[in-house]
Structure 1
Amino acid sequence: MSRRPPSDKGWLAHYRELIGTWTRRSGSRQDAEDAAHDVVANMLRNGDAAVLDPKAYLYGASQNRLKGEMRRQSRREQLSLDELTDAEHPVQSDPESAIRAAQLADALKRALAELPLKCQQVFLWNKLEGYTQAEIAQKLGLTQSTVEKYMKRALSHIHDRLQDHAPH
């Protein structure tokens, strides 16, 4: 029994072309695949029946996703510690600084572990990954108001738990 070829209708017909186009534009196949995956997953979650032009939707939404990723990466530009001036260098010279840093990191991990998973995700995606609250809301399928509440809860909880580590 022979398999039927896939239909040329709908979003799936444009997926391979989309990946090729965005790989050329972004320079990274992985970024293109991530963007396309997020867009398709969001479309399927919300129902693709409302999408009148699947090709235009996929291209536009993927472009927005890739632009957002580039903005996030630019916000997270990192400098080597060697590139900092002495005044900017975060390293302290006293022998206990490494111990204090390790204790603070452990306290932060414990504080985060005490929070519900969604609060943890919101905090980490915003503070470490650089996602905006609107982007997090879209990724998690939540309202922006809910994401803001999770963020407030996480920040308040972490603030309370890390009081012993604040400089005197």
Structure 2
Amino acid sequence: MSCNEGMAQGAAGCTALDDAYVQSYADLVRFLTGRLRCLATARDIAQEAYLRASQSDVAISDPRAFLFRTAANLASDSRKTSKRHAEILAEASFWLEPEPDRSAEALTLAAEEFTRVSRIIEHLPPRCREVFYLNRFEGLSQSEIATRLGISKTAVEKNVRRALAALGETRIK
């Protein structure tokens, strides 16, 4: 099936990328499902790969290969994010799922610590908070954050250090 056959009538001219997406969709979803082990996520990422590729300013010589490379990168990001979310959940389980044998005092102290940490993060400068969030909660590397935000890697490092220093000061008190 070509782009013109697969798209609604009246669609303004199909590109080589559109044709590659329509013709390779099933293969792309199969490829992503193998990597992600989730059909729904694979379909979402296939669509996201097409959208990203269609918005790219790069000259695309092989649209199918470009779609698959974009999809592979997005799948990798998705796995990293999922892994980081699982790590955060495991780290936060003390606050989220108190064990029955914890004393009332331990639960109160944990709640106070959680509140204190939340307040510190809320009071960080916006850029510092954003960098810290992307690094610690989204699991992005400092290079990825620098690229995403259009800032230097040194600025990312300084903001992460600043956030960690602010959080470290609360443990001393």
For Structure 1 versus Structure 2, the TM-score category normalised by the shorter chain is: 0.5 to 0.7
Structure 1 length-normalised TM: 0.64
Which residue of 38, 41, 51 corresponds with 1:30?
41
> Structure 2 length normalisation: TM-score?
0.63
**Displacement, 1:32?**
4.7
Which digits, 9 at most, give the CA deviation of each residue in 1:74-133, with x for residues without a partner?
464676xxxxxxxxx998744311111111111111111111333223222322333333
Structure with the bigger percentage of helix = 2
- Sort the Cα spacing of 1:96 and 1:128 in 2 relative to 1 into closer, same or farther, 3 A: same
Corresponding residue of 1:14? 20
Tell me how far apart the structure 2 counterparts of residues 31 and 137 of structure 1 sit (CA, whole Å).
Answer: 27
Q: Give 1:104's aligned amino acid.
A: E
Higher relative contact order, chain-length normalized (CA < 8 Å, sep 6+)? 1
Q: RMSD value over aligned CA atoms?
A: 3.6
Give aligned-pair identity as a percent.
23
Q: Secondary structure at the match of 2:61?
A: coil
- Residues matched between the structures, number: 151
Q: Shift in Å at residue 156 of structure 1?
A: 1.7
Task: Give the gaps of 5 or more residues in structure 1.
Answer: 80-88
* Residue in structure 1 matched with residue 3 of structure 2 by the alignment: none
Task: Please name the residue that 2:57 is paired with.
Answer: 48
**Cα shift readout 1:135-161 (whole Å, capped 9, x = no counterpart):** 333444444333222212211222224
Equivalent positions of 1:6-155 (< 5 A) are: 6-9=13-16, 11-16=17-22, 17-18=24-25, 20-25=29-34, 26=36, 27-34=38-45, 37=48, 40-41=51-52, 44=55, 47-74=56-83, 76=86, 93-155=102-164
The alignment partner of 2:117 has SS state of helix
Cα distance change on mapping 1:40 and 1:132 into 2, 3 Å: farther
